[in-house]
Amino acid sequence: MKITKVETLHLCLPTIAQIADGTQDVLIVRVHTDEGYTGLGEVVSNSYISRAVIEAPRSAPYRHGLASIVQGMDALDTDGVFDAMAENAFWYGPGGVARHAMSGIDMALWDIRGKAAGKPVRALISPEPTNSLPCYASTLWPERPDLVKATADKHREDGYLAIKYSCDPMGPDPELDEALVAAARDAVGVDFKLMVDAWRKWSVDAALDRVARFEKYNLYWLEEPIDAYDNAGFQELSKAATMPIATGECLSLPEEYERLRTIGNIDIAQPDLGRVGGITGALRIARSARETKTRVVLHAYGTGVMLASTAQCMAALADPLTEFTRASNPLARDLVRHGMEFREGQLHLSDQPGLGVELNEAVVARYRQA
């Protein structure tokens, strides 16, 4: 089965708010084959630049556009296509936006593989995947601690048993940071899993201070307290922390995760399928993580394409847990149709082949950029 076309769908809301919500501007990839199968993937990056990386024509060696590299290749050979993209985009890669753009193509090829085999993607990865997995609500901090309870109550009423709060106003004020976490723990109760994402806001010293302050609130994990490339800082933090430390969503290369695990000694690695080279890239990182017994919990803040891809991959890995984007805009909420069902804290997966998603073409038409 040959790849005949790689199509980019750049979708963007009319106004982009300056908040940590990447679902306002997304790049979806659709791969076509000569046997009529198509697959969907998502890129987590700057959509304009990623689109150019995919659509650029062939050039001199090691600097070809990704679509020109993969056209004519076997759509079922995900490892071969992955390696060809990495090799032939080496001069402007191998990481960063080159790996981000690879991710969308790779996800789409796994979608095609599943459709061709008549199996969900998770069954291609593991002979005994789970069909449902725990799911946590991923949301932003409100502006003040007194507003936390309303958001927590809403997610509990929706059936969640775990929640992660992220980003502003957390960061500059240690007293406010503790007040936010205290309000969240008070709102969700003692048995509810509570995670905090600091979004790389602190120095090592400031992070050590927050670890001491947050200890009494029994966090399930503390995410991205410092810069993800500060391996020595994570080593110091991991030794002192009484709670699991998680990071890695912004990294793209296996060797970056290798250093973070072996030098930084983090507890939880968080590859993002839209940045590490899709499912193929994530599986390579997960296999390596077993050497240090580092838990892999994929980061996933995107549209339904990303949610489905991540859930299918996590369902085939050990100790599964998946992130559920709670953004309410049309691209996050309405872009795809799928058979997944969330209830009682679990995301139940369908047996539809591939990723089990299809685009809502009316939403595509409304928000697609020329």
Q: What are 204-221's pLDDT values in tens digits? A: 999 999 999 999 999 999
Question: Was domain 3-119 assigned CATH 3.30.390.10?
Answer: yes
Residue range 124-360 forms a domain whose CATH class is alpha beta
CB 345 within 8 A of CB 160: yes
Q: What is the mean pLDDT of the chain?
A: 96
Q: Per residue in 205-261, pLDDT tens? A: 999 999 999 999 999 999 999 999 999 999 999 999 999 999 999 999 999 999 999
Neighbouring CB atoms inside 10 A of 96's CB total: 15
pTM: 0.96
The reply to whether 124-360 shares the fold of 3-119 is no
Whole-number Å distance between alpha carbons of 233 and 55: 39
Whole-number Å distance between alpha carbons of 181 and 178: 5
**How much is the pLDDT for 358?**
97
Per cent of the chain over pLDDT 70 is: 100
| Domain range list for the chain | 3-119, 124-360
Q: How confident is the model at residue 324 (pLDDT cuts 50, 70, 90)?
A: confident
In 151-285, at which residue ranges do the beta strands (DSSP E only) sit?
162-166, 193-197, 221-223, 245-247, 268-269
CB 67 within 8 A of CB 6: yes
* pLDDT average, residue stretch 25-46: 98
Q: Per residue in 47-106, pLDDT tens? A: 999 999 999 999 999 999 999 999 999 999 999 999 999 999 999 999 999 999 999 999
Tokens of 234: 């994570």
CB 231 within 8 A of CB 263: yes
Helix (H) or strand (E) holding 136: strand 132-140
Query: Residue written as tokens 């050990």?
Result: 318
